[in-house]
Structure 1
Amino acid sequence: MKKSQIIAIVVGIVAVAILFSLPRVVVDNEEGGAQITESEQSEPNNQAGMHEAEVDESIKSDINSLLAKLETEDNKEKFVTFADSIASLYYQASKYDSAAFYYERALEKTNELERVEKTGNAYYEAYTFALDEKKIATLAEKTRSYLNQVLEKDPKRLDLKTKVAMTYVSSSNPMQGITMLREILEADPKNEDALFNMGALSMQSGQYNRAAERFEELVQYHPDNLQGQFYLAVSYFESKQTNKSKRQFEKVKGMTTDQMILSSIDSYLERL
């Protein structure tokens, strides 16, 4: 999940821990249905202060200069240019919620659908990194408000529907997200994002055999998906499929030179 979907591989490995902080949801029970076993309700949160992120001094002066120009600019095109520039600087500083806020400010002057999508995607990326429950709820709501506008015009955008679905998974109505992911797989059984997220959700709910099935599908269609390959090995490990787990971890070791990933794999192999 996630994510931005799919986030950098190192972040993907860290997400092994993060995905267990999501609401407890049974994705597929033995009868093929689905049910909620546990969920947490996040209270709405206003956006005040969300865009006042601390940044390095190297770009802080540039942001402050652009902000001064933005607040006094009446020309629409220049206002949009300043807002975009501020957003780009915050993006550079990995302050994704602040970047999204200023992309949203640009929408005050121009409501082009492409820009609406850009804002929604920025809020989704901020959502994938958020840890505070109230902030997660706010960013999820922002993501849906913009990406749903695009989906209304183009319902076939399954990439955006996947992101909207994932924002529901951490909400008080996680089954809405599960239902949307299933709809995506009905329309596109090979959909990379939906398969990955369904596998991750099965892991999170402790259904490791089901997770392994999802990740097997994923890597069959998308063999270069390193996160999927890694999670498949973890699913085998947790479902006590020792031989498969060992072979899969060894396979992943041959796919990367990243020391963080290799260290994690070695840790699992030592436990086999």
Structure 2
Amino acid sequence: MRKSQLLLIGAAVALLVVLYAFGRTVPKVDKKAMSTAAPMQGGQEVAPIAFSELLEAAKKRIPAEKLLQVNTIETNVVRGDVKTQQISAYRQLSNTWDSLNEAPVSAYYLGQAAKLENSEKSLTFAANLFLTHLQHAEDPAVAKWEANQANELFDAAIALNPENDTIKMSKAMVLMNSGEPMAGVGILREVVAKHPDNVDAQLTLANLAIQSGQYDKAIDRLEGVMKSHPDNAKVIFVLAEAYRNHGDKQRAIQLFEQSKQYMKDPELKKEVDSYIKSIQ
């Protein structure tokens, strides 16, 4: 499961999924379901910032010698009459801006290179950079622009490989983090309708059901998944959390205990033990 998906998960569920996804590190759980800069203000959708405005502001923050370097590479992009030259220049710009800690600008140029390369791998990589930045953006206008950039790149990647469910799920995360949750849910439902054995998509939908108080739906979904994945600790754990929220503490504890049987990390088991004690 990708890190972006964890933003949709409640605190207890994130305890297990974060540890499972990223190793033995006690997570600092972000209980907010969406980005702090979700592109809505007062019920009004925020217009995306123009890249020219973003670039101008970034240029004002960098040293003069770096600005000269950037302007020189930009000239190479305009003069480059061969696609490979343009790709190289865009990648140089991306690397330069990355070294200056200007992540959105760096991602933009990497995205431009990816569009010229038109490979599924490069398009997806650039899109995922925007998705990562989007989750931490403080300015709603920047978040909206990043969401648009990510969607464009993911769409291009999907066009190259319409059967790649992972890319579709990433696009769903963009939509959920940019004020279009139902559109994201729609994509996830399409994925599980076509591939019901996609555990990550099933888990994400179950997590959303838990967050929205639809515990019966989460339980029904995960009970079905458990039939074909009886030894998947994440599935068992999230199902336990659904039962806990539903008020069936006894069944929840039983499942939490069961989930530990399929965990190899002893420290992770201790985390689950602590959680069980907290709800007894």
Cα distance in 2 for partners of 1:64, 1:212 equals 56
Aligned 8 A contact 2:175 2:183 in 1: yes
DSSP 3-state at the match of 2:54: coil
Aligned 8 A contact 2:236 2:255 in 1: yes
Q: Please say if 1:167 is aligned against 2:174.
A: yes
Q: Please say if 1:245 is aligned against 2:252.
A: yes
Question: Could you say which structure has the larger radius of gyration?
Answer: 2
Aligned 8 A contact 1:42 1:137 in 2: no
The structure-2 alpha-carbon separation of the partners of 1:265 and 1:52, relative to structure 1 and needing over 3 Å to count, comes to farther
Cα distance in 1 for partners of 2:95, 2:227 equals 37
The structure-2 alpha-carbon separation of the partners of 1:101 and 1:186, relative to structure 1 and needing over 3 Å to count, comes to same
1:113 maps to: 119
2:32 maps to: 18
Cα distance in 2 for partners of 1:204, 1:242 equals 18
Cα distance in 1 for partners of 2:171, 2:250 equals 37
With 160-169 and 92-101 compared, the bigger mean Cα shift is at: 92-101
DSSP 3-state at the match of 2:33: helix
Cα distance per residue 1:74-124 (max 9 Å; x no partner): 45545534543664687799975444223124257x242333333223222
Cα distance in 2 for partners of 1:102, 1:193 equals 30
Aligned 8 A contact 1:2 1:197 in 2: no
DSSP 3-state at the match of 1:49: helix
Q: Please say if 1:127 is aligned against 2:134.
A: yes
> Residue 48 of structure 2 aligns to which amino acid in structure 1?
N
C-alpha displacement of 1:195: 1.0
TM-score, structure 1 normalization: 0.67
Cα distance in 1 for partners of 2:95, 2:267 equals 28
Percent identity over the alignment is 21
C-alpha displacement of 1:184: 1.2
User: What's the RMSD between the two structures over aligned residues?
Assistant: 4.5
Q: Please say if 1:9 is aligned against 2:15.
A: no
Count, aligned residues: 250
> Which runs of no fewer than 5 residues in structure 2 stay unpaired?
8-16, 37-41
Cα distance in 1 for partners of 2:43, 2:237 equals 28
TM-score, structure 2 normalization: 0.65
1:203 maps to: 210
2:277 maps to: 269
Cα distance in 1 for partners of 2:130, 2:198 equals 22
DSSP 3-state at the match of 2:153: helix
Where is the helix percentage greater, Structure 1 or Structure 2?
A: 2
Cα distance per residue 1:43-77 (max 9 Å; x no partner): 12214438949xxxxxx9xx879746533434554
